[in-house]
């Protein structure tokens, strides 16, 4: 199946978009197993790197309570706050309620340092899930466009796209961020579909993009629903204050 070093080298070949590595994965009887190990290993490495970086941020940045209090004081000192308070005597109470709700929501989504520890487990799981779902959607599309690879060959090749996440290891440095992993991952997935199914470029492109397009549509729908819910909650808070 390969040593850890060999698996990492395989991920680097995927990161560098080496067509030979994708073809070897397609033709190897151990391709699917190596792909599984690659995705899990990269997920663990990224999770640990993110944890170390978050711990560095945690010990160097101000507490959430300090930041929240500074924002609260700053908003109350603005001219519009005084104007609204004079117009509506109950506005300060309404403002405090809304500010508390928003602060609690941000803290809930932020998750704190506990989320970083959980990331060691959730990151590999999410990468595995994304790998499987992408292959599940792109494989029948590639076959419909003339591809010849089996599902296991598709998964063996698309696992190399996880190599793009090696760039996320930069998160081990506190406050460091990396951009472009999603785009590079899509490019690597395109190479994987093209080499696995031996498709012409445009056919490989559409087989690759069908999954992300579906995800974007679902995300837009979910975002619209979320916006309506937030606006409804804010409106209810104002009406409740009156």
Q: What 3-state class would DSSP assign to 82? A: helix
Which single residue is written with the structure tokens 């309404």? 94
Judge whether 27 and 196 are in contact, CB under 8 Å: no
Concatenating the DSSP letter of every residue in 28-56 gives -TTHHHHHHHHHHHHHHHHHHHHHHHHHH
Residue 227 has pLDDT above 90, yes or no: no
Residue with tokens 């785009």: 183
Distance of CA 84 to the CA centre of its chain: 40
First to last CA, the chain: 67
Q: Which of 71-75, 129-133, 221-225 has the lowest mean pLDDT?
A: 71-75
- State residue 112's pLDDT score: 57
| Chain center to CA of 189 | 16
Q: Six-digit token pair at 135?
A: 């292959």
Q: How far is CA 32 from CA 6, 15, 144, in A?
A: 15, 18, 22
Residue 117: per-residue pLDDT: 79
pLDDT at 181 over 80: yes
Which of 177, 160, 184, 162 shows the shortest CA–CA distance to 42?
A: 162
pLDDT of the residue at 29: 92
Answer yes or no: pTM beyond 0.95: no
Give the number of other Cβ atoms within 10 Å of residue 15's Cβ.
22
Least confident segment among 59-68, 77-86, 138-147:
59-68
DSSP state of 90: T
Q: pLDDT category, 108, cuts 50, 70, 90?
A: low
Determine the pLDDT at residue 17: 92
């Amino acid at each position: 199946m390969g040593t850890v070093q060999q698996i990492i080298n395989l991920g680097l070949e995927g990161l560098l978009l080496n067509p030979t590595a994708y073809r070897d994965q397609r033709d190897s009887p151990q391709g699917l197993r190596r792909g599984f190990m690659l995705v899990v290993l990269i997920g663990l490495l990224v999770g640990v790197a993110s944890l170390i970086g978050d711990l560095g941020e945690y010990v160097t940045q101000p507490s959430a309570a300090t930041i929240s209090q500074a924002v609260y004081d700053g908003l109350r000192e603005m001219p519009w706050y005084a104007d609204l308070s004079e117009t509506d005597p109950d506005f300060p109470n309404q403002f405090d309620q809304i500010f508390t709700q928003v602060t609690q929501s941000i803290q809930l989504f932020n998750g704190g340092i506990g989320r970083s520890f959980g990331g060691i487990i959730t990151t590999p799981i999410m990468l595995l899930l994304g790998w499987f779902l992408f292959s599940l959607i792109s494989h029948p599309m590639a076959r419909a466009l003339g591809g010849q690879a089996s599902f296991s060959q598709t998964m063996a090749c698309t696992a190399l796209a996880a190599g793009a996440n090696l760039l996320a290891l930069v998160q081990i440095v506190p406050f460091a961020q990396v951009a472009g992993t999603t785009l590079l991952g899509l490019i690597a997935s395109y190479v994987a579909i093209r080499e696995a199914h031996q498709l012409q470029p445009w056919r490989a492109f559409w087989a690759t993009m069908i999954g992300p397009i579906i995800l974007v549509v679902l995300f837009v729908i979910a975002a619209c629903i979320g916006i309506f819910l937030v606006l409804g909650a804010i409106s209810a808070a104002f009406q409740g204050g009156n």
